[in-house]
Structures are given as C-alpha cells and as structure tokens.
Amino acid sequence: MLLTVKEVAILHGKTERAIRKNIEIGKILANNQFCSTGQGGKTYKIPFDSLSSEIQAKYWAQQAEKLKNEERKEERKYMSDLKQMHGNNWDKFYNKAQQKLECVIAFNSDDKEKLKELLIKNSYSIRSVYRWCQEYKKQGITGLIRGVRSDKGSIKELCNDALNFIQALYIQPIRPSVPKIYEVYLMEAKKRDWNIVSLDTIYRIINRIPKDISIMGRDGKEAYRANALPKATRNLNSLKANEIWCGDGHVLAVLVPDGKRLKRYTFSAWLDMGSRAIVGYCIGTFSSATIIGRAFYNSVFPKENSPIFGLPSKVYMDNGKDYRSKKLNAGTSSNTFDFTLEQKGLFMELGVETIFAMPYTPWAKPIERSFRTFSDKFISNIIGSCGESIDRKPADLNKEIVLQNGISLEQLRDIIEESIQKYNNTKHSGLNGKTPLQAYLSKEKVRNDMPEEEEIDILLMEFVSRKITPSGIKMNHTYYWHEALAHKLDKTAHIRYDPEVLDKLWVWVDGEFLCIAETKELLSMSRNNEKVKEWIAYQRRTQKEVKEYIDSLGMSPAEARALFISVTISNEELVNIASGKNIKSYNTSNIVRINPATKEGKRIKKLKEAEKQKTEIQEESSFLIDYYKKKFEL
C-alpha cells in the first residue's frame, strides 16, 4: 500500500515540504519507480511498510474513526429516510424499535430474567431476538426499525399492462360491474399471455384506484367537480352582520294537498353568511323573481318572533334565471351578466351589491348546507315527506292517505317558521359553540339605513317599457293617462304595475319618477257630457301651455329662417326678403277666419241673412212708396 506525501505529512504532523526534504536526504524511503514529474515538481509515493510501527498504528486509528463517522452519517440519513417513509406512523415504528433494542441489550448482557420478561410482555420469540442482534450490529437502531417494502401495493402476479387494462375497464362511463370486468380480463389474458388471477385480485386492484379518478371516469366531469374537486374554504366568521346574504331556493320534499291534487312548494330563503342565521323566507307554488323578492322583503323588515332585520351590503346568489331576472338586477352588472337598463332593479335601487356564484357549483353557496340540515331534521318526518330524490323516497308513502290526511299549506308554513326558530337557536360547530342568533346579535351591523315598506312594494312590481302616445300609455288593451304625460310624447316610459291591481301604473321617464297614471275614462259621444267638456278644456289649456312655451323662447319663425339662410347668403336685404322678415305684422286678433262649421261662422251667417232680409224689405218698401206716389200724382 502506497501513501501520498500529504497523507504521510498528516501522520507525522509536519508540512509536505518537510516530508519531501526528508525523502531527498534519505530519511523517508520512496519507491523511485513510482516517481513522476508534474507541475509542482516530483511526486512521491511512500510505501506503508517503510513507516514506523507508531505511524502505522496512528494511520489505522484514523481510518477506523473515519469509517465510524461515515457509518454514523449513513445511519442518520437512513433514519431521516425512514421517518419520511412512515410519515404520521413514525412514532409508532420508532417506539417498536426501542422495545426491540431493550431485548437486544438484555440478550448481550446475558440478563436472562429481563429478556424472558420482555419476550412474554411483547409476544416476541428468541429467534427474532437473534435476528435483531445481527441487524443492530450492522446498522444500529435503524436496523431495528421496520422499513417500507419496495413492492408494497404492487400485485406481483400481474404486469403493468394487465393492471392498466383492468383499471381502464373500471373507470368507463358505462360503469361496468367487477364480475363483467373479470370476464373480459380472462378473455384478454389468453390473447396477451397474462397470468390468470382470481376475482378477489380484480377487486383488490379496483379498490386501489384513487377515488377522484374513479369519480371522473365513471360519473363524469360534473360529479367530479361536485364531489372530488379541491374546494376553497372561506373565513365567514370575520363578516359583519348583514354584510353578505346568500340566497337560494329549494323545492320542499313534502306533498301538500291542494284540492284533488298534491303539490310540492318552493322554499326561498336568505342566509346571513357571517352568522349562518336564516334571516327571512317565502313559500310559493314555484320559484320566481317575485317569490325571491318577497323573501328578501321579509328578511329586511322587523318580525314579531325574530330580532333579525336590516339591509345587506351584498347578496351572493345562484345563477338561476329567477335570480338573474331584471326585476332584481336591472341597472346592475357583474362579471357574468349585464343588466344595464334605465330602469333600476330591486338591488341597485337599495344600494345592494350583487355577486353571482360560479355556474353549476352548488357547494359554493353555504345556504345549500343549511337546506340539507333543514330538510333532514325538520321536513323528513312530516306526513307526506317524499324524499329529496327517488332513492330517498319513503317506502310507505301513500298518496291517497296524504291527500286525505296531509298537512295544509298554512300548517306547513307554521312548521317551517318554528323549524327556522329552532335552527337559529341551535349551536353551530363553525361558530365556536354559538347559535346563529347569538352570532348575529354579537356582530356589528354593516348598514343602519332602512327603506320604506312601500318602496320595496313598488320595486317588487312587474315592469315593462311603453311609448307615450297622444292618447297616453297603452297596456293590455287599456289606456292610462296623467297630465304629466302631455309633454313626454314619443318618450319611452318604464312602467311598474301590480298584476293583481291594474288600475294604476307607476311611470318613470329618463330615469326619474314622473307620475302615477290611471286608467283613462272613455268619453261619451255627446258634446254636452260634462266629462267631454272637461277634456276639451284640458286640451285647450295644454295647447296654450305649449304655445306659451314656444313664445317664451323669443324667436319668431322668420328670424329662425333668416339665420339658416344667412349661412349661405351674405346679402342682408335678400335674406330678409327670402325669410319674410321684412313683412309687416298684423294684429291677428282683429282677423276672423270664417268657417261654416264654427260657432262664429254661424253667427256671422245669421247676421248676413238678417241684413239681406232687411235689404229686401227696404227694397220692397221703396217699391211700394214709389208706386203709390205715381198713382196719387195721376
């Protein structure tokens, strides 16, 4: 064995230069045949046997220490690997290794009594202790920690192609059964020379398919998004009271008699997301914007049996057509929908910001969870309960019995009212042991303003747009009129109305409330009718108002024509002639245009006839006088 100059210098505790000098003067032997010339001069190799016994012993001691350090380093690395492999089970396996080490120590110290006690206590065999002693000698305590099998989870008798084939068959949308998959595998195994395995092995392979992969393949993308897609979690407890309301509708899983039929009613509710309290609700025959609006109305105003009330800052809603209706959202906009109209909807008029949940993501709305709790705890035990789905339909549901003995709509409402009280006063795990009502009352309200009840009543009316005509506003074959419409001819009116009471229309023009138009009374054909006379008088007043407004602008038609003509003609005299500006004005009040159909025309005609008759009489009288004069003269 040959050593380098550096290694020998370390053993002697000297510099490399001193060792080379000793080689040159012959104090340290170096084999000349191993000499070579390099950049730093000669390189020497010193035979290990030529060194003194003391230096040799020192060398072997250093090598032993070096080996020991490497073993310790390797043991620490292996210990870290084992800890990572076992994960959460590390403490369990490490404690087990400590028990084995106690047995090894007892065996090596020849403490038979202690060893016997440990074997009985832990149900170990002496043969296992022999094996542990060998493993501890080689690897220390890491040798006593059970490692993870490199082939754990693998099916030894099947190749990867066979495993992939079985998994691919199982995750198909047709949802094949395991026995059917086994039948197909046996057929394919003969063709591809795969091992024949048992049906239990096929089950074992299928059970190891990750749940999310199984759902995506067999149930489809929507089921995966609902049941396996990682979901975000929100911090709702930091929200103030009424900061965000979540709204949704749910068809109640209970049949209610309605004459000779059975009905399922829609339950529309709003939930305060910060406290999880149900703030208001409404029951209807089917989901509609009106039902949602009425549930909102009931949520805003104080209730006899609940201290919860107020306006929300934001509403978080479903993407259903009822929640996207213009009655609720006109004039607002979101990232998904545009409701920008001149007519304002309920939420914009009340200063409520709208947020729409992602389409087809019911898990995004916390109220869905409340609906499930509400249905499971309170609705499922009522007579007529029909289950949320076909597979949950009660086996003893008898529609004839429900039709005769089922609860009425009023009784269903009372049950829901009491159930909501119970829900709001039940401790919630997500509220640190508080009830939704306690959480709501402990929070500061985000808004203190309150609308008038009549204001929301109007906002919940139906609305349409109509043109204003000289006859008024026509809707459903009926004309509506108000004097304020007279000066809005051809304007588009945005109208709100109550479908139950069609005698009034609330009219907005240019974004501002104009009037309440009422049904226009049809006038009689008789000119002597008082209503006709009133209408004619109103027409004259309106005409006079229009004329006075035009005159107040201070520009005659001739002046206007002169201005337009002067754009192209610079001769002022010619402009005045062409525009009629130089024509003398006459007092038109002294000019009477006679029309036989007018009252004035008839009066003048009568005067003319009287004048003509008078003239004829005078002419006849003059004739008689002349006649008698001549007769008497004769």
Q: Could you write out the DSSP letters of every residue in 109-162?
A: TT-HHHHHHHHHHHT--HHHHHHHHHHHHHHGGGGGSPPPPTTTT--TTS-HHH
Least confident of 161-170, 237-246, 557-566: 557-566
Q: What is the DSSP letter of 333?
A: B
Query: Given this model, what pLDDT does residue 497 score?
Result: 83
Of 80-84, 325-329, 351-355, which one has max mean pLDDT? Answer: 351-355
Strand 512-519 versus strand 478-481 pairing type: antiparallel
**For residue range 75-120, what is the model confidence (pLDDT) as tens digits?**
555 666 667 666 777 788 888 888 888 888 888 777 888 888 888 8
pLDDT above 60 (res 43): yes
Query: Given this model, what pLDDT does residue 333 score?
Result: 47
Rounded Cα distance, 241 and 359, in Å: 27
Query: Given this model, what pLDDT does residue 437 score?
Result: 92
CB 625: neighbour CB atoms within 10 A?
A: 10
Residue with tokens 């210098």: 9
Rounded Cα distance, 55 and 357, in Å: 82
Q: Which residues contact 149 (CB under 8 A, 6 or more apart)?
A: none
Looking at the chain, the whole-number percentage of residues with pLDDT higher than 90 is: 4
What predicted TM-score, i.e. pTM, was given to this entire model?
0.50
Residue with tokens 């060398």: 59
Element (H, E) at 230: none
**For residue range 432-472, what is the model confidence (pLDDT) as tens digits?**
889 999 999 999 999 988 888 888 887 778 778 889 988 88
More confident call, 581 vs 303: 303
Read off the pLDDT band of 349 (50, 70, 90): confident
pLDDT above 70 (res 284): yes
Query: Given this model, what pLDDT does residue 598 score?
Result: 57
**Nearest by Cα to 41 from 64, 23, 65, 63:** 23
End-to-end CA, the chain = 198
Element (H, E) at 463: strand 462-467
Least confident of 98-102, 121-125, 148-152, 401-405: 148-152
Read off the pLDDT band of 289 (50, 70, 90): confident
Q: What is the average pLDDT across 217-231? A: 80
Reduced to 3 states, what is the DSSP secondary structure of residue 90? helix
Distances (CA, A) of 565 to 165, 562, 574, 582: 91, 5, 10, 14
Query: Given this model, what pLDDT does residue 73 score?
Result: 57
Query: Given this model, what pLDDT does residue 53 score?
Result: 80
Least confident of 74-78, 225-229, 281-285, 319-323: 74-78
Query: Given this model, what pLDDT does residue 147 score?
Result: 60
Query: Given this model, what pLDDT does residue 154 score?
Result: 54
In sequence order, what are the beta bridge partners of 245?
Answer: 272, 315
Kindly report the length of the chain: 634
Contact between residue 518 and residue 481 where contact means Cβ atoms under 8 Å apart: yes
Query: Given this model, what pLDDT does residue 441 score?
Result: 92
Least confident of 1-5, 83-87, 121-125, 476-480: 83-87
Helices (H), 375-507: 399-405, 409-424, 436-442, 453-459
Rounded Cα distance, 450 and 157, in Å: 74
Q: What is the average pLDDT across 485-494? A: 87
188-197 — which CB contacts under 8 Å span 24+ positions? 189/162, 192/161, 192/162, 194/158, 194/159, 194/161, 194/162, 195/157, 195/158, 195/162, 197/155, 197/157, 197/158
**For residue range 601-616, what is the model confidence (pLDDT) as tens digits?**
667 777 888 887 777 7
Query: Given this model, what pLDDT does residue 72 score?
Result: 58
Q: What is the average pLDDT across 285-302? A: 87
**Nearest by Cα to 365 from 355, 379, 350:** 355
Question: Packing angle between helix 90-108 and helix 126-139, nearest 10 degrees?
Answer: 100
Read off the pLDDT band of 627 (50, 70, 90): low
Query: Given this model, what pLDDT does residue 593 score?
Result: 47
Looking at the chain, the whole-number percentage of residues with pLDDT higher than 70 is: 77
pLDDT above 60 (res 287): yes
pLDDT above 80 (res 348): yes
Query: Given this model, what pLDDT does residue 556 score?
Result: 78
Q: Which amino acid is at 356?
A: F
Q: What is the mean pLDDT of the chain?
A: 78
Q: What is the average pLDDT across 158-185? A: 89
Query: Given this model, what pLDDT does residue 624 score?
Result: 61
Task: For residue 376, report the phi and psi dihedrals to the nearest 5 degrees.
Answer: -65, -40
Distances (CA, A) of 564 to 259, 316, 442, 551: 76, 58, 73, 19
Contact between residue 461 and residue 294 where contact means Cβ atoms under 8 Å apart: no
Query: Given this model, what pLDDT does residue 586 score?
Result: 45
Q: What is the average pLDDT across 586-609? A: 59
Read off the pLDDT band of 391 (50, 70, 90): confident
Query: Given this model, what pLDDT does residue 366 score?
Result: 61
Query: Given this model, what pLDDT does residue 292 score?
Result: 87
